[in-house]
């Protein structure tokens, strides 16, 4: 089987945490590598970009084809008008390389637009994963700014794709109800986790690796820096904790200067300058040390389609406090592996943080349960489900 994997704006080998680079990039990379290991040929088509200094160094066994469509500096908001060029260039590559694809696998709505155009040209089935859906984000975070045609395109992609792969029952139900899609055309196949990379290790050794003080209590946030992630809520909660010797490590790209400035201004106003550390992006191999150095991981997002960093923390045996939004409910088991909070005001975060920070035994108990739960979400299960779906669609 040969798959054309379309990821218009998401280069899978970009370091996560930078602009428009996060869990989706990691997901595509992991899926492609594992599909190739199963004997499936995968070509990934993504836009040529100007961010080569952000590319992670690792050994990959899939083929990335860079397509020139618009200026290399364009962000995802400016790409839509160049999608026809992208389609033409993908088809030119197919003809020049004399390849026949059995299936098209699209990631994000921009890629869905491309995939459906290719479907008409190649007469091949299309599987789409949205990763995020505009209407869901809009409900959770009304200030979200996006391309005005996105909602209409997502409805069309939902109807015309041969199958939709979603990560949670919440997303499946939304698509069924709002887009009127038959549930038989929607498969819940959540991402897996590399339990060999992300696993519990000695905290003091991990702290030595990142030069972190051995004695301070540490809260960790991992993700992009944007308002949707709700970091301001966490900062307010940190300022209200009775214990004042608690530090927050913020791991994520510092490209969003407006948001970084806003967050640092909040830190100054709350007298948190010396306790909050903005570390920028780190490599996947380094990230495991940050998880294992922390006492608690927190995701105060307005919405997460899945929440990969919550799963990575869990795999490292670290309890997670998260907003009860989107796919986070499938990762964080409330009161067992951490806490899910319905309300996004600082108070509930203060209560749960104080409970965990002051109780080492509870952290360890929840951490062990988190690791056990993460072990049940391994990549083997996800990839086998994807392979079965692809086989079903290509045999038909």
For the chain, 396 residues long, give each residue's pLDDT as a single digit of tens.
999 999 998 888 765 555 555 678 889 999 999 999 999 999 999 998 765 545 555 556 778 999 998 887 777 777 889 999 999 999 999 999 999 999 999 999 999 999 999 999 999 999 999 988 888 777 766 666 677 899 999 999 999 999 999 988 889 999 999 999 999 999 999 899 999 999 999 999 999 999 999 999 999 999 989 888 999 999 999 999 988 889 999 998 877 889 999 999 999 999 999 999 999 988 888 999 999 999 999 999 988 888 889 999 999 999 999 998 878 888 999 999 999 998 778 999 999 999 999 999 999 999 999 999 999 988 988 999 999 999 999 986
Query: Which of 123, 102, 116, 107 is closest to 165 using CA atoms?
Result: 107
Residues above pLDDT 90, as percent of the chain: 69
The pTM of the full predicted model, rounded to 2 decimals, is: 0.86
pLDDT tens figures, 327-360: 888 899 999 999 999 877 899 999 999 999 999 9
Query: Which of 153, 147, 106 is closest to 130 using CA atoms?
Result: 106
Contact indicator for 189, 385 with CB cutoff of 8 Å:
yes
Give exposure, 282-317, as e/b (b: 16+ Cβ within 10 Å): bebeebbbbbbbbbbbbbbbbbbbbbbbbbbbbbbb
Q: Give the separation between CA 65 and CA 277, rounded to whole angstroms.
A: 37
151 alpha carbon, distance to own chain's centre? 20
Q: Give the separation between CA 172 and CA 186, rounded to whole angstroms.
A: 7
- Which pLDDT score, from 0 to 100, does residue 18 have? 52
For residue 83, the tally of other CB atoms under 10 A from its CB is: 18
Contact indicator for 18, 28 with CB cutoff of 8 Å:
no
């Amino acid at each position: 089987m040969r798959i054309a994997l379309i990821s218009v704006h998401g280069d899978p080998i970009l370091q996560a945490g930078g602009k428009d680079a996060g869990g989706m990039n990691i997901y595509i990379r992991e899926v492609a590598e594992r599909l190739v290991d199963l004997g499936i040929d995968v070509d990934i088509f993504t836009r040529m970009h100007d961010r080569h200094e952000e590319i992670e160094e690792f050994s990959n066994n899939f083929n990335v084809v860079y397509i020139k469509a618009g200026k290399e500096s364009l962000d995802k908001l400016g790409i839509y008008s160049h999608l026809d060029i992208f389609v033409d260039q993908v088809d030119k590559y197919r003809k020049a390389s004399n390849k026949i694809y059995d299936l098209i696998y699209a990631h994000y709505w921009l890629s869905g637009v491309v995939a459906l155009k290719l479907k008409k040209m190649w007469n091949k089935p299309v599987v789409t994963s949205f990763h995020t859906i505009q209407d869901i984000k809009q409900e959770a975070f009304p200030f979200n700014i996006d391309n005005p045609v996105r909602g209409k395109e997502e409805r069309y992609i939902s109807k015309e794709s041969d199958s939709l792969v979603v990560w949670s029952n919440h997303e499946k139900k939304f698509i069924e109800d709002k887009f009127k899609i038959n549930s038989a055309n929607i498969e819940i196949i959540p991402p897996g986790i590399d339990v060999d990379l992300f696993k519990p290790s000695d905290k003091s050794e991990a702290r030595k690796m990142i030069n972190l003080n051995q004695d301070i209590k540490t809260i960790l946030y991992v993700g992009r820096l944007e308002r949707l992630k709700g970091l301001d809520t966490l900062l307010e909660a940190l300022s209200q904790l009775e214990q004042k010797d608690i530090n927050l490590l913020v791991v994520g790209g510092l490209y969003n200067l407006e948001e970084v400035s806003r967050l640092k201004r909040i830190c100054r106003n709350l007298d948190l300058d010396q306790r909050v550390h903005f570390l920028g992006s780190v490599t996947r191999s380094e990230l495991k040390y940050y998880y294992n150095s922390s006492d608690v991981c927190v995701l105060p997002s307005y919405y997460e389609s899945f929440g990969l960093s919550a799963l990575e923390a869990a795999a490292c045996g670290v309890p997670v406090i998260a907003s009860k939004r989107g796919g986070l409910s499938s990762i964080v088991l409330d009161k067992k592996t951490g806490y899910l909070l319905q309300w996004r005001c600082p108070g509930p975060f203060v209560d749960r943080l104080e409970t965990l920070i002051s109780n080492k035994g509870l952290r360890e108990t929840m951490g062990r349960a988190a690791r056990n739960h993460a072990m049940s979400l391994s990549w083997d299960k996800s990839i086998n489900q994807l392979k079965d779906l692809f086989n079903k669609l290509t045999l038909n």
